[in-house]
Chain A
Amino acid sequence: MRFFRLLVASLCLVGLGLSAAPAYAAGTFTLSPPTWTKRAEDRPINFLNRKDCLDGATASFSYKVTGLGTNNGVFEVWSGAGCESKDNRNNTATTTCARVKVGSTAETRIELNFQEMVKAYGQTADVGIDACDTPQGAGKQNRSLYFVIYDQNNFASLATSTPWAFSYDIVAPPPPSNLRADAGDRALSTHFTPPSGETNLLNYHFYCSLKGSAPVNSAGGSSGTAGSDATGTDTAGTGATGGTDAVVGGAGADVATGGAGTDASAGTSGVAGTSSSGGTTSIPETLDPSCTSSILVPGEPPREGAIECGTIGALTSSSGDTEPTLTNETEYAVAVATEDSANNIGVLSGLACGTPRDVTGFYEAYTKAGGQAGGGFCSFAPAHRDALWTGAGLLLTACAFWRRRK
């Protein structure tokens, strides 16, 4: 009987405890690293760039939720900082989070679009590709993803994952300025002023084309459907740029939608221009106004037909030569685009022109003066005959002296 009373009392206490507990018990959220689609593989799994954003890279996370009981609450994925806190998720004055997606605890996998992961804080609706032009600070940015299951009545978290930290840089670096070019042997030698305030520059890329008439361009103009026609010459001889290239978008978000028409006949406005620097609106200056190209357009991404004529490391560089792949006695234009550590390649700088010509370097001058040396490290030239006799004589003398000492 005593045992029975104890049992009843225990059951009552348990019942009281349960009635005092919240609606759902705290659960456990287990997350696996994501697999990406439409994302370049040459960077760490949690570091993305502007191209990933424009391409619509998608992360697939698998997850497992346990301990929630029968009522699963609301499952959402948030991007930002401190998003396990309901205050940061609920549009308070200090919002530091954006909602990426609403999920289901009944599933075990969720697909997240990178574009939604980098949209502005406070956003809860899908933004799409426009998110790639979200104003950002310079260089690499850091956020985390929070997988949160919360009580829909009071927004309190029932289960959250360990935050999955990621970095991104969706702003391509600006080009260098004050570009000048000196003629070299099948190359152009450039000098320029590096962009200021950029801390994560990786490379400068040179783009060359034959000097020619500038394409008809309009910044912020109409869409380039009709195409005014081909003027100028282009390197490959495929005609000139077609179309009125439109750079659509206003301050802070100019996404080039016109592009390089490679066909002279129609002036088809080309493939959507992909990159811009997300906010840079000024067109880089060409110091020599007579230096123009139908392929290279300052302030735009390199177009189809531009010759990739070299790359140099950006560290402490303010000059560099193109690859010696140009044709001597032919007039070229060159422009420079900057690449950052996230592999974002920005728009082209102003142009510089030059005409590569044959030069006489030291070795050629040496051979013209009668020098016969060269041919390779392994080529061997025998010593002068007199020197050989002298050397042999010295050796014999040394041997004789040694024998006499013995």
Chain B
Amino acid sequence: MSKRARRLLALAPAVAALFASLPAHAQGTDEFGGYGAQRGTQSESKQEAAFELRFGRYQPQVDSGLSGTPFQSTFGNDSRYMFGAEADWQLLRIPHFGTLAPGIGWGYTKFSSKARFASNGELSGTTTRLNIMPMYLVGVVRADVISRDLKIPLVPYAKLGFGYGLWWSSDGKLTAESADGKKGRGASYGLTYALGGMFLLDVLDEDDAVTADGITGINNSYIFAEWFRPQLDGFGSAKVLDIGSSSWVLGVALEI
């Protein structure tokens, strides 16, 4: 029998006496929300998945390996942003460590600018665009032992997997073409990895967290910051557009 179990057993009579002496105050929810419960594994519903909504800077490394800087010359250096979503299926819980999960993610970003006249380089009225849709399959490790056992509301995590991104470019209303007629669209692939930390929002209002769990099955809610590296360069292939990025992503996550 573990030390913790022995402690619980020892406390059992005292707890029983306490409940016996209390008036009819039960834990639960009323029209004002949850009440009476302590946050802990015993009051939680089963946790099986995590969902993220993500937002962050995205700076594709298109110009790497080229003789010029077509991306920077066309779209400039201003920050552009990506939004996305991710879903993880938390298949495995390792006691006193955290969860292991396969995850699938999707994002989208768009770059646009006025194209330049071929003759004199001045800006024209035609808008040239590059759309990027990165996707990935990753394994996710979330070490929630810190929040569960040490009661510090932080969860570090890491992701590693395979990324695949679609991209397409247009000039005005038409799909862009090269001088030899090749269509400006394709797919890129490579590794995708990320490191991040989540802040457990449940600590801000534990009663509310209990209510959310009881009513909707949401176990935990977080905000997170993550260093995200989709390395979508075709493993170095010259025939793949390097739409990989390396940037910070912020978001909110729910575990249900």
Contacts and interface: CB of A to CB of B under 8 A. Distances in A.
A384 B234 CA distance: 7
Q: Is the interface of B mostly helix, strand, loop or mixed?
A: mixed
B124 A364 contact: no
A365 B124 contact: no
Contact of B186 (A375, A386, A391): A375
Q: Which of B71, B113, B119, B125 has the most CB of A within 10 A?
A: B125
A385 to B, nearest CB: 9
B128 A183 contact: no
B118 A363 contact: no
Contact of A357 (B118, B128, B239, B240): B118
A374 B184 contact: yes
Interface string A183-225: 1111111000000000000000000000000000000000000
Interface in B69-112: 69-71, 73-75, 111
A373 B189 CA distance: 12
Interface string A90-108: 0000000000000000000
A369 interface: yes
Interface string A293-322: 000000000000000000000000000010
Q: Range of interface residues on chain A?
A: 35 or more
B62 interface: yes
Contacts of A370: 66-68
A182 B125 contact: yes
A364 B172 contact: no
B179 interface: yes
A183 B125 contact: yes
Give the interface centre of A361, A373, A378, A382 by most chain B CB atoms within 10 Å.
A361
B182 interface: yes
Given A185-B124, A387-B235, A371 B241 contact: yes
A187 B124 CA distance: 10
Contacts of A14: none
A354 B125 contact: yes
A188 B126 CA distance: 8
Nearest to B121: A360
B130 interface: yes
Contacts of A364: 171, 176-179, 184
Interface in B141-182: 166, 168-174, 176-180, 182
B57 interface: no
A360 B173 CA distance: 14
B183 A375 contact: yes
A362 B116 contact: no
A380 B166 CA distance: 12
B237 interface: yes
Contact of A384 (B71, B115, B119, B236): B236
Contact of B240 (A354, A365, A378, A381): A381
Nearest to A366: B70
B186 A377 contact: yes
A368 interface: yes
B125 A188 contact: yes
A363 B74 CA distance: 10
Given A324-B172, A364-B176, A371-B66, A187 B126 contact: yes
Nearest to B168: A377
Contacts of B70: 362, 365-366, 368-369, 371
A184 B116 CA distance: 9
Contact of B236 (A354, A357, A366, A387): A387
Interface string B9-40: 00000000000000000000000000000000
Contacts of A186: 172
A365 B73 contact: yes
A381 B234 contact: yes
A189 B170 CA distance: 15
A388 interface: yes
B187 interface: yes
A376 B125 contact: no
B235 A383 contact: yes
A265 to B, nearest CB: 38
A384 B74 CA distance: 27
Interface centre among A182, A185, A186, A363 (most CB of B within 10 A): A363
Nearest to B68: A369
Contacts of B62: 366, 371
A384 B190 CA distance: 11
A369 B115 contact: no
B229 interface: no
A182 B172 contact: no
A244 B48 CA distance: 79
B174 A324 contact: yes
A379 interface: yes
A376 B183 contact: yes
A149 interface: no
A171 interface: no
By CB atoms of chain B within 10 A, which of A182, A324, A371, A372 has the most?
A371
A383 B187 CA distance: 12
A377 B116 contact: no
B128 A375 contact: no
A172 B144 CA distance: 64
Contacts of B113: 362
Contacts of B238: 372, 384
11 contacts: A185-B115, A186-B172, A187-B125, A357-B124, A359-B115, A359-B118, A361-B169, A362-B113, A363-B130, A366-B184, A374-B185
For the complex of A and B, 7 pairs with smallest distance between CB atoms = A182-B125, A189-B125, A387-B235, A363-B184, A384-B236, A381-B239, A184-B126
